[in-house]
Amino acid sequence: MRGSCGASRSQASGRCDGRARVKAWPSLSSAGKLGSVRQHQKHIEIATSGQGLYEITAAVAAFVSASGLRTGQVMVYIRHTSASLLIQENADADVQHDLAEFFARLVPENMDWLRHTAEGPDDMPAHIKGALTQTALAIPITEGAMALGTWQGIFLFEHRARPHERRVVLHAIGD
């Protein structure tokens, strides 16, 4: 199979010129063929009251249940660059407190070397925290429910100090 480098591959080294080698493999299904694939999508808004973690597991679980899918995947995507998504422990609130405190120490506000300050002292640090975390999560659907671990929950991680209405897209695919 031909990698993605194509003609840019160096004749002497066999390596790509600054690009990763990617091989294309045939798609396979464990059953040999796909069943009736369905898709469902919903947009939800989450009101935040400032920095911190906001659990959204119940909203995503309700969406998955309403989809009627037995097997598949749910994608959770946040449409913002100053907030993010995490899968984290939901049994002990101290975990969320400690994570928020860690990120506050890792990326403090009022760093005098920042250039993007027009939206306030918390904005660029919020973008940095967003870059260090995730804007999308993919969670398997098994037997009609998310295949989360016992203590796992889905959290919106608000990085800005003031309240926001955060938009999240839920997209499920499967059968």
Q: Which of 26-30, 68-72, 104-108, 137-141 has the lowest mean pLDDT?
A: 26-30
β-sheet bridge partners, residue 156: 54, 85
C-alpha to C-alpha distance for 104 and 106, rounded to whole angstroms: 6
Share of the chain above pLDDT 90, in %: 77
Q: Given the structure tokens 């009627």, which residue do they identify? A: 68
CATH code, residues 35-174:
2.60.120.460
pLDDT band at residue 10 under the 50/70/90 scheme: very low
Could you give the 3-state DSSP secondary structure of residue 13? coil
Looking at residue 64, its pLDDT comes to 98
Span of 10-14, 32-36, 104-108, 109-113 with lowest mean pLDDT: 10-14
Is it the case that residue 86 has pLDDT exceeding 80? yes
Query: Is the model's pTM score more than 0.85?
Result: no
CB distance 98 to 88 below 8 Å: no
Report the mean per-residue pLDDT for the chain.
86
Q: Which residue has the higher pLDDT, 110 or 138?
A: 138
